[in-house]
Structure 1
């Protein structure tokens, strides 16, 4: 296997004081993590991942691993957008693996992925949840600058996600955006929009009432085209299309805030980047 361009592994445990703290941390190459902060009284730790290299290039490989101990709580975000430039040497890859023990909670909210002209990016995310654990993720795909000014000049963006709850496969999602194979602005693709949000949430109690509440939240964003559906288990998936990263990020934050209020009583997340 190729040597990773950047690797990051975090192990988080709930301390005796109720705060979640990093008990194991490793990084190498072009990935780092800032010292966590605890912005509210819940004990949740907020970690910010940084890439000093500034962007992903052809044949790059990034690896992110997270291990959440029993009843721990963390939010992972990034310092800035993930920028994927032209990749003549082959696709840039990122492999992510999140493992949560009973009662653990993880929210993964990176800044948007920007795919520039002739970019080819493949991401694999594996999530393993124990009983009573919760996971939330929201990722935005944005078309980057191109010489012609056209928005869809990247070759491919693939987000492949597998999620297991108590060893039972709950979600197998293979999202492939390949603009060269069809008109991405047409019906069934982006329907005239340019930006995409893919969101998934799993946790105890997520069901029909939660679905109704999230659909109510979505109705407050009439400029976006969005839908929400339940998984065959305690979870849901949201897909949304828009014309800017900001609008989709606001929707993700609103959904995240509603789920946090219902599940933990926390207020909206604080994504300060320091």
Structure 2
């Protein structure tokens, strides 16, 4: 059951149109720099998502997002808006895996939308726990980033093919993933991904082959160039490979003001370790900051 603070919609749509969500939950927050520290300036939420905790990180502000439900159910939509004002710096994460539950038949799937708006010189680091798509799940994930001059946005995601210990491996119905990045009014990056396991040959060479988990790390800023890409390649090149857990990875600069890292493997935790190494190298090269090490 959702609480009364969720927004309920029941719009009917033709069969060939994706149905509107049944429940919309919102989280909005803004951050500003006060003296040498970033503070939470304003927040608003409706259940089941909320900011569970903020904590100082020696200047930047750490933020943990909590979902007090079992996860995204069929018909759920989470909408999160983050405003980071001039020179503010936030590190954002969540408490646990984003779990997407089944949406059987042609029923409503679940969706999540995030918008990051960064002022001049602002920094946002979005480093959540992995996303898990259960059997028969349908999920749309949309992210929009808007950057002012000097701003830095870094974001990572790890995607699991299902609960592999229960035999779920690409048993979900559909996964769509979209990322749009703007520098001022100029779109500098657009990525659309759609996975339909029932109709695509995911084991083909050049696709997933025999690997199961994927991870991405994106960084966008007018400060990013070849030195940042080389720092990440060096970090991943020296990353220790765990026994029985090989990784495939690649690093490239985007068309403008950006860097993309992709890794593939057989377990979420190995991809998290690799992306953390890449992120730590970027923090040092781009922000002159040490890696973050703490327990949630």
1:86-135 Cα deviation digits (max 9, x unpaired):
01321101111000000000000110000010010001111100000000
Do the aligned partners of 1:14 and 1:20 also contact (CA within 8 Å) in 2? yes
Do the aligned partners of 2:228 and 2:286 also contact (CA within 8 Å) in 1? no
Structure 1 CA distance for aligned equivalents of residues 60 and 194 of structure 2: 33
1:13 aligns with 2:36: no
Comparing 263-272 with 242-251, which one deviates more in the overlay?
Answer: 263-272
Shift of 1:148: 7.1
1:168-188 Cα deviation digits (max 9, x unpaired):
111100122221122322212
Do the aligned partners of 2:121 and 2:150 also contact (CA within 8 Å) in 1? yes
Q: Check 1:183–1:166 CA distance in 2 against 1; reply closer, same or farther (3 A cut).
A: same
1:53-202 equivalences under 5 Å are 53-88=69-104, 89-145=107-163, 149-202=167-220
Shift of 1:4: 4.5
1:24-57 Cα deviation digits (max 9, x unpaired):
1001021011221113x2x111100010002111
Structure 2 CA distance for aligned equivalents of residues 164 and 56 of structure 1: 28
Aligned to 1:239: 262
Gapped regions of structure 2 (runs ≥ 5): 1-8, 10-20
Structure 1 CA distance for aligned equivalents of residues 198 and 140 of structure 2: 16
Gapped regions of structure 1 (runs ≥ 5): none
Structure 2 CA distance for aligned equivalents of residues 260 and 130 of structure 1: 19
Structure 2 CA distance for aligned equivalents of residues 146 and 58 of structure 1: 21
Structure 2 CA distance for aligned equivalents of residues 130 and 187 of structure 1: 40
Do the aligned partners of 1:36 and 1:46 also contact (CA within 8 Å) in 2? yes
Which TM-score applies when normalising by structure 2?
Answer: 0.87
Q: Check 1:191–1:220 CA distance in 2 against 1; reply closer, same or farther (3 A cut).
A: farther
Shift of 1:271: 5.0
1:205-245 Cα deviation digits (max 9, x unpaired):
31112212211222234521111111122211111101111
Which TM-score applies when normalising by structure 1?
Answer: 0.93
Comparing 222-231 with 157-166, which one deviates more in the overlay?
Answer: 222-231
Candidates 249, 266, 285, aligned match of 1:226: 249
Structure 2 CA distance for aligned equivalents of residues 224 and 178 of structure 1: 24
Largest Rg, 1 or 2: 2
Question: Matched residue pairs, number?
Answer: 270
